[in-house]
Amino acid sequence: MGMKVLVIGSGAREHAIAHTLLRGDSVQEVTVAPGNPGMEADGIRTTRLSPANHAALIDFVKDNQYDWVFVGPEVPLIEGIVDDFAAAGIKAFGPDKAAAQIEGSKDFAKQLMERHGIPTAAYQVFTDLESSQRYVREHGAPIVVKADGLAAGKGVTVAMDEDTALRALDDIFVDHRFGQAGAKVVIEDFLEGQEFSLMCFASGTDFWPMPISQDHKRAYDGDKGPNTGGMGAYSPVPQIGQDVIDEAINAIIRPTLAAMSEEGTPFTGILYAGLIATADGPKVIEFNARFGDPETEVILPRLTSDLGAGISAMLNGETPRFDWAHDNATVGVILASNGYPDATVTGAAIPVIPDSDNIHVFYAGVRNADGQSDSADSPISNLVSDSGRVLLVESTAGDIASAQQQVYELLDSLDTTGMFYRHDIGAKALNR
């Protein structure tokens, strides 16, 4: 009998995690809470339990005898869901509340890096509008303004001029656009270079790096438009050399995990380092305490070993194995609702996208059309969009150019009325 695993979350990231768990031999059954109906096409079960209801999730795990839990999103981690599972005697993969602060508070992360000499942009922290405005006017642009807490990937403004920076401060302190997340603001120096994401499986001071990826944050082609949670990603990132990756592992990942252990907040789970390759070497833009979205959807298809066996080993204090394909490339493109990320318009009919050997669809903001229940023969035949990011189409090929061509030939052939996508995901790798 294989293992039974519960995955917490509802998006394309959780779809990719669940799908990858089922690909291995060790896991027999995966349920996602709350999941979405698009996942069911891959034989993934869903249960309508809220990630915020820890007590109900604990009962569900015990009543249905799940072997362990994988926590996908940041909010339940920061709210201490791993601590609550542990107190109930349930194994859950992810950082506890204390360790999840590395994402939950930019100030916490910055202070940790400062104390331990981990390379990142110089910064100041402010708790009021006047002093932050004064700093921006003295410092000038370009400059980066970040709400301290969680803002679903949208709390960061890279301001190329002072007006943009001052507007961002108004958003945070006057309009309270990010609620409690904006009670504090981190203002940091602008760094020049290519960004990349380096994620690793971590257990205390031990870690197993994944291949790197690059995501595209702006809504429109050519990196135009507002910041989003991410419009697509690709892996590998050929313009970032192995020497830069090695330096990032040795100067950033290793000392960060050592620092957290040393300071009594050891980190177990997925440590995500959002990095930038500057002329002075790689530096940290931000840390996340979980898999990135959309990076997960292009990284996990490159895993050749059994994900469930690897995580199970880590949860049991054993040494895991994670093996990766190094002779292929993946490109993932988000299909988003018109108006995203500001005034999202939902309810668009989603075309049925056929999977093939080299193409996989990971569903995010979808629901069954009104009055339609899941159809037993095809769970994806009557889906409509239900939030900003609707789905991601992932393509695997021998190189980025081929994977890119494959994914766009498919997307361009579909009726995507009411939705949009970027046409240049992966272009930075080809225009070197």
Q: Which residues pair with 159 in a beta bridge?
A: 143
Tell me the CB-side half-sphere exposure of residue 160, using CA atoms within 13 A. 2
Look at residue 157 in the predicted model and tell me its pLDDT: 84
d(CA 256, CA 287): 10
d(CA 197, CA 219): 18
d(CA 123, CA 413): 46
Token pair recorded at residue 424: 């240049």
Closest CA to 247 of 123, 119, 122: 119
Displacement of CA 416 from its chain's centroid (Å): 24
Residues 186, 196 contacting (CB under 8 angstroms): no
pTM for the model stands at: 0.92
Look at residue 155 in the predicted model and tell me its pLDDT: 73
Look at residue 324 in the predicted model and tell me its pLDDT: 98
Which residues touch 59 (CB under 8 Å, ≥6 apart)?
A: none
Q: What is the pLDDT along the chain (432 residues), one digit of tens a residue?
A: 899 999 999 999 999 999 999 999 999 999 999 999 999 999 999 999 999 999 999 999 999 999 999 999 999 999 999 999 999 999 999 999 999 999 988 889 989 999 999 999 888 888 888 888 889 888 888 998 888 765 555 578 888 899 888 888 888 887 776 665 557 788 889 999 999 999 999 999 999 999 999 999 999 999 999 889 899 999 999 999 999 999 999 999 999 999 999 999 999 999 999 999 999 999 999 999 999 999 999 999 999 999 999 999 999 999 999 999 999 999 999 999 999 998 899 999 999 998 888 999 999 999 999 766 554 557 788 999 999 999 999 999 999 999 999 999 999 999 999 999 999 999 999 876
Look at residue 52 in the predicted model and tell me its pLDDT: 95
d(CA 69, CA 51): 12
d(CA 186, CA 281): 22
Question: What structural domains and CATH numbers belong to the chain?
Answer: 3-97 (3.40.50.20), 128-183 (3.30.1490.20), 194-315 (3.30.470.20), 329-430 (3.90.600.10)
Burial environment of residue 134 by CB neighbours within 10 A (0 to 12, 13 to 18, 19 or more): exposed
The residue type at 341: P
Angle 273-308-402 (CA atoms, 0-180°, nearest 5)?
60
